[in-house]
A and B are shown apart, each in its own frame.
Chain A
Amino acid sequence: MNIEKKNSGDTLTIALEGRLDTTTSPDLEEVVTGALEDFDSIIFDFENLSYISSAGLRVVLSIQKKMNAKNGNFIIKNVNDSVQEIFNMTGFSNILTIK
């Protein structure tokens, strides 16, 4: 999986490409956890994310909780139909901001 970071003021945009699974989710967690304190808004761009398993969902949930705790914003954009269906199955559609 490729992780591309872009800073713009207090917003960090992270574009993911490939698969967010058991083997790759620790990489994402490391990248984001280190940056959470420095930004009020985190945006995930899922345009090129082709796969997400529960390991990826756990990272997403962890970020949502941390951003809620600091009254920050966490947005996921460009979600494809397959990934959206996984969000729907797990009820994540109701706890995430998906645009």
Chain B
Amino acid sequence: MLVLSGKTEELGLIHQKLNEVIRDYPFYMEIQMQLEIVAEEIYVNIVHHGYKQKGGHICFDCYIADECTLCMQFIDRAPAFNPLIFEETNLTLKAEKREKGGLGIVLVKKIMDVIHYEYTEGSNILRVCKLYKE
């Protein structure tokens, strides 16, 4: 498990850890970029919106739960924040009507198969998993 101080400059460490683990995943070449995007979106969301760019501990773990499931977990102690209850972004709007925000969570939801959030004893715990599909 990585313990980070909540700075965007540490994003490379998350990707490094992720890539160490997914090398063993059967289809990692096909989804490497997508998993890196998910890790970036969640981490940056915590840094910017959770800790308001003032820094704070973020624990990151990545593991293969079984032979067809890869999971990433983020734990932070920012104020409770459930990314799953954000208003859905309308992806059919023209450019002029589009807002800047919301794309990160769209990507997380589209790419990952399982998203689980809980707030326990002062910690946000977000686990996202990707299932292997033939």
Instruction: Check if A and B associate.
Output: yes
> A-side interface residues toward B, CB under 8 Å?
21-23, 50-55, 57-58, 61-62, 64-65, 68-69, 82, 85-86, 89-91, 94-95
A/B pair count, beta carbons within 8 Å: 62
Chain B facing A: main interface SS? helix
A-facing residues in B1-17 (Cβ within 8 Å): 8-9, 11
Question: Is the beta-carbon distance between A58 and B95 smaller than 8 angstroms?
Answer: no
Nearest to B103 among chain A residues (CB) is A54
With A23-B9, A95-B98 given, is the CB distance from A86 to B92 under 8 Å?
no
A85: chain B residues at CB < 8 Å are: 34
Q: Number of contacting residues on B, CB 8 A?
A: 24
Question: Nearest Cβ distance between residue B111 and chain A, in whole angstroms?
Answer: 8
Q: How far is the CA of A51 from the CA of B98 in the complex (A)?
A: 22
> B-side interface residues toward A, CB under 8 Å?
8-9, 11, 33-34, 36-37, 40-41, 44, 91-96, 98, 100, 103-104, 106-107, 110-111
Question: Is the beta-carbon distance between B11 and A22 smaller than 8 angstroms?
Answer: yes
B91: chain A residues at CB < 8 Å are: 90-91
Question: Is the beta-carbon distance between A61 and B100 smaller than 8 angstroms?
Answer: yes
Question: Nearest Cβ distance between residue B118 and chain A, in whole angstroms?
Answer: 24
Q: How far is the CA of A69 from the CA of B94 in the complex (A)?
A: 13
Q: How far is the CA of A64 from the CA of B97 in the complex (A)?
A: 12
Question: Is the beta-carbon distance between A58 and B33 smaller than 8 angstroms?
Answer: no
Question: Is the beta-carbon distance between A86 and B11 smaller than 8 angstroms?
Answer: no
Question: Nearest Cβ distance between residue B52 and chain A, in whole angstroms?
Answer: 16
B110: chain A residues at CB < 8 Å are: 89
Q: Tell me which of B37, B96, B103 contacts A51 (CB under 8 A).
A: B37
B98: chain A residues at CB < 8 Å are: 61, 65, 95
